[in-house]
Amino acid sequence: MKVKSILFTFVLMLSVIIAPFSSNATMVNMDSTSAVAVIGPHLQKALDEDSNEVLEVIVTFNGSGAPSLADVNLLSNLGITNGITLQSLPMAGVIATPEQINQLQNSDQVRSIYLNRELQYDLERSTKLIGAQKVHEDADFQSRNGGLPVSGNGIGVIVNDSGIDGTHKDLEYGKNLVQNVYGGTNLNALSSILPVTYTEDVPTTDHTGGHGTHVAGIVGGTGAMSAGKYEGVAPGADLIGYGSGAGLFILDTLTGFDYAITNQFKYNIRVVTNSWGSTGDIGTDFDPEHPTNLATKKCYDRGIVVVFSAGNSGRDGEHTITGNFKKAPWVITVANGDKYGKLSDSSSRGLENNGGTVTVDGKEFTWVDAPSITAPGTDIISTRVISPIGALGTTKDISNQDPGTMPFYTTLSGTSMAAPHIAGVVALMLDADPTLSPDEVKTIIQNTATNMPGYEPWEVGAGYVNAYAAVDEVYNKKGYGKTLNTLQHFANAAADTDAEDVTFALNERLINVDTNGNYYPNEKLTRIELAKYLVMGAGIRQSLDNTSYTDVSAEEMPFVAAVTARGGVFNDASHLSDQVMLSNGNKFNPNGAVSKVDLSYAMIQSLNLQNEAHALAGQTITAVWTYQGVNFNVVVKDQTDIPSELKGYVQLAIDRGYFPVEYVFENGEILAVLNPFEAVTKGEYASIAKKFFNEYY
């Protein structure tokens, strides 16, 4: 019999807390004892569909600690021999037959049983999401790169962290981990002033919880222990571990930068990634004399790109970046986004309009109190230290992984996980063109970002990283960046209307006013306006592949190219979804009106619901009519001329309340009237954009 492997996300989570580093972790305690063992709804559905299928399930026992000997004996006495138990929570992941599940349900030792449902909260999705895997597989890039995939090959990346476990096959010392250094400093142990010494060639330096090992896997793990599934962003990079151990002080990190500069030519060190910070340095302005800023400036001068995590103090609001050194104009500071385009609540924010200019070494720099960019940092699966944690860690590992990979990978969240994504992207860019300067790297990463609806630059920087567009810009210099929200002036209110939905959409950066401050809510929405609104407010990725439209101006072309490109939908990790606006050959018709059918397609496509819409193609469109508290599905009368392939989009738009319908009584039957080809006004679009935004997030 086939084993069904479906991962389940528990309400209860256990994460690793590593105080010195910018990694967000949460512990939720479980209340014990329940009179009846609960069967999860997805498990019940699986049992109903096939009563003979062997299933992967998660059993929660009554209790507050690890499963007891009696709990383990219960499993074995029922003939359940395949599974694992947690170390702190009363849970086991097992393979069981329906009969065994029934017996477990009837045991007073068991609290609940849930199906091991499949989800995509892992590094595999994050590398796809940002386009890193697309970079690895792009034939044109490979041709331009001498026949080799762009993978960060030969680019030295220092992981300035707690250390790296070089016994892990994904990060094997002597292979992709080209050097592993223990650099902890203990001034109290010295009796004289001596030059700093580094303990090199240490197979494993991560003995304090695995933070650095996890970070290193995100940068450039090979995925060897997962058949490539959890491959890092730049699997061809040469990793150099610089570990400071459990205690972390400024001096420890400074020696990491010192090591990078000293050994730059030996290991071609071009990137240093740093997932640490100081909560005691929150709310401070950039200090050019701070020793960390002096060290990173020296790296900058030597062509080394320095990447920092923004910090995990965002729940305290604005002005929470953990360190003035993360505001240095020559570093890249990274916020934590989830895999659906939302900023994590914990991700540290900057302060609006805070910044200034400084002159350093005779050159004027502008610093801003904001992250530079956002990258995936929430529920990231990456390499786990082989010891001391052992074979099992958090509940999320059971939820998110196959049992065979759990001894080698674990799940963590925080800007600590976001920063190494960017370090990996930098390695890809330098693989494509090693002559890039740190300024050029930072500019390209920011110019190729995807807008994040509802957020300000002081929260997310330029937006969500797009590795594919970044490497595309390196090779082809297409001129990305003209669609960025950071380059536009947004009003918080329109001069010609105080409509609530318009004001909401303006405040969330879903729409914009003209140069006179007017929105004109009663005017018809044009196709070019829709293109701009989708790029600024629906998270459509930048693309400059399709720029052949003869009726579109050069100024408007970047917006049109984005909405007519394949794979532009942010939530589409495959980068294969169809375009979000339809066109006719080399004509876009920018001044044409937008019908309800047109808008249905654009909005549903932007929600990444293409498959759901296609599944409804050709089916009769209905609307819900409510009479005396009872809902009835009634047929939409005027759907005859809607193309069959678009009916699913219209149905999903009606279901979301995008378009109100009128109800008529004809020949003893209630029917709905949509007017599907009626032009949409800008005011109507603002209302729909609000509904879209609330579902998007």
Q: Is residue 390 scored above 60 in pLDDT?
A: no
- Whether residue 230 contacts residue 381, with contact meaning beta carbons closer than 8 Å, is answered with yes
When pLDDT is cut at 50, 70 and 90, the band that residue 393 belongs to is low
> What does the pLDDT read at residue 677?
98
Q: State the chain's mean pLDDT as an integer.
A: 87
Helix (H, G, I), strand (E, B) or coil at 366: strand
pLDDT in tens, 231-290: 999 999 999 999 876 556 777 788 888 899 999 999 999 999 999 888 888 999 999 878
CATH top-level class for 38-116?
Answer: alpha beta
> What does the pLDDT read at residue 185?
55
Q: What is d(CA 431, CA 392) in angstroms, rounded to the nearest whole number? A: 36
Residue 437 structure tokens: 């300067």
Residue 96 structure tokens: 């069981």
pLDDT in tens, 18-29: 233 333 333 333
When pLDDT is cut at 50, 70 and 90, the band that residue 36 belongs to is confident
> What does the pLDDT read at residue 10?
26
When pLDDT is cut at 50, 70 and 90, the band that residue 30 belongs to is very low
Q: Does 38-116 match 119-487 in CATH topology?
A: no
Q: Is residue 112 scored above 90 in pLDDT?
A: no
Q: Is residue 7 scored above 60 in pLDDT?
A: no
Q: What is d(CA 198, CA 205) in angstroms, rounded to the nearest whole number? A: 12
Task: Transcribe 60-127 into DSSP letters.
Answer: EESSSSSPPHHHHHHHHHTT--SEEE-SSSSEEEEEE-HHHHHHHHT-TTEEEEEE-B----SHHHHH
pLDDT in tens, 213-248: 999 999 999 999 999 999 999 999 999 999 876 556
> What does the pLDDT read at residue 245?
61
Q: What is d(CA 454, CA 265) in angstroms, rounded to the nearest whole number? A: 44
- Whether residue 558 contacts residue 494, with contact meaning beta carbons closer than 8 Å, is answered with no
Q: Is residue 209 scored above 80 in pLDDT?
A: no
User: Which residue, among 609, 462, 659, has the nearest Cα to 542 in the 3D structure?
Assistant: 462
15 catalytic? Reply is no
Q: Is residue 118 scored above 70 in pLDDT?
A: no
How confident is the model over 619-643, as a mean pLDDT?
A: 95
User: Which residue, among 415, 426, 374, 339, has the nearest Cα to 135 in the 3D structure?
Assistant: 426
- Whether residue 622 contacts residue 672, with contact meaning beta carbons closer than 8 Å, is answered with yes
- Is residue 149 reached through a cis peptide bond, with omega within 30 degrees of 0 on the bond before it? no
402 catalytic? Reply is no
How confident is the model over 26-44, as a mean pLDDT?
A: 57
pLDDT in tens, 525-554: 999 999 999 999 999 999 998 788 999 999
Q: Is residue 638 scored above 70 in pLDDT?
A: yes
> What does the pLDDT read at residue 291?
80
- Whether residue 260 contacts residue 298, with contact meaning beta carbons closer than 8 Å, is answered with no
> What does the pLDDT read at residue 526?
99
> What does the pLDDT read at residue 35?
60
When pLDDT is cut at 50, 70 and 90, the band that residue 195 belongs to is low
User: Which residue, among 18, 28, 20, has the nearest Cα to 396 in the 3D structure?
Assistant: 28
Q: How far is CA 156 from CA 132, 149, 371, 493, in A?
A: 18, 17, 24, 49
H or E element, residue 434? none
- Whether residue 397 contacts residue 409, with contact meaning beta carbons closer than 8 Å, is answered with yes
Q: Is residue 168 scored above 50 in pLDDT?
A: yes
Name the catalytic one among 71, 122, 161, 170: 161
Q: Is residue 88 scored above 50 in pLDDT?
A: no
H or E element, residue 253? helix 250-262
416 catalytic? Reply is yes
- Whether residue 279 contacts residue 311, with contact meaning beta carbons closer than 8 Å, is answered with yes
Q: Could you tell me which residues are beta bridge partners of residue 540? A: 569
> What does the pLDDT read at residue 117?
44
Name the catalytic one among 112, 372, 416, 600: 416
Q: Is residue 89 scored above 50 in pLDDT?
A: no
Q: What is d(CA 390, CA 608) in angstroms, rounded to the nearest whole number? A: 39
Beta-strand pair 156-161/355-360: unpaired
Q: Is residue 377 scored above 80 in pLDDT?
A: yes
Q: Give the rounded percent of residues in the chain with a pLDDT score beyond 70.
A: 88
CATH of domain 119-487: 3.40.50.200
> What does the pLDDT read at residue 187?
44
Collect all residues with Cβ–Cβ distance below 8 Å to 30 and sequence separation of at least 6. 12, 60, 64, 89, 90
Task: Transcribe 113-127 into DSSP letters.
Answer: EEE-B----SHHHHH
- Whether residue 418 contacts residue 457, with contact meaning beta carbons closer than 8 Å, is answered with no
Q: Is residue 454 scored above 80 in pLDDT?
A: yes
Beta-strand pair 269-274/156-161: parallel
Asked which of 135-139, 195-199, 434-438, 468-472 is least confident by mean pLDDT, the reply is 195-199
With both helix axes pointing from N to C terminus, report the angle between 682-696 and 500-507 in degrees, rounded to the nearest 10: 50
Q: Is residue 562 scored above 70 in pLDDT?
A: yes
Q: How far is CA 14 from CA 383, 393, 402, in A?
A: 17, 8, 18
With both helix axes pointing from N to C terminus, report the angle between 596-606 and 682-696 in degrees, rounded to the nearest 10: 20
pLDDT in tens, 399-412: 777 778 888 999 89
> What does the pLDDT read at residue 9?
31
- Whether residue 452 contacts residue 464, with contact meaning beta carbons closer than 8 Å, is answered with yes
More confident residue, 622 or 194: 622
The identity of residue 7, as a single letter, is: L
Q: Is residue 16 scored above 50 in pLDDT?
A: no
- Domain boundaries in the chain? 38-116, 119-487, 497-694
Give the residue carrying structure tokens 């003939």: 79
> What does the pLDDT read at residue 460?
98
Name the catalytic one among 22, 136, 206, 211: 211
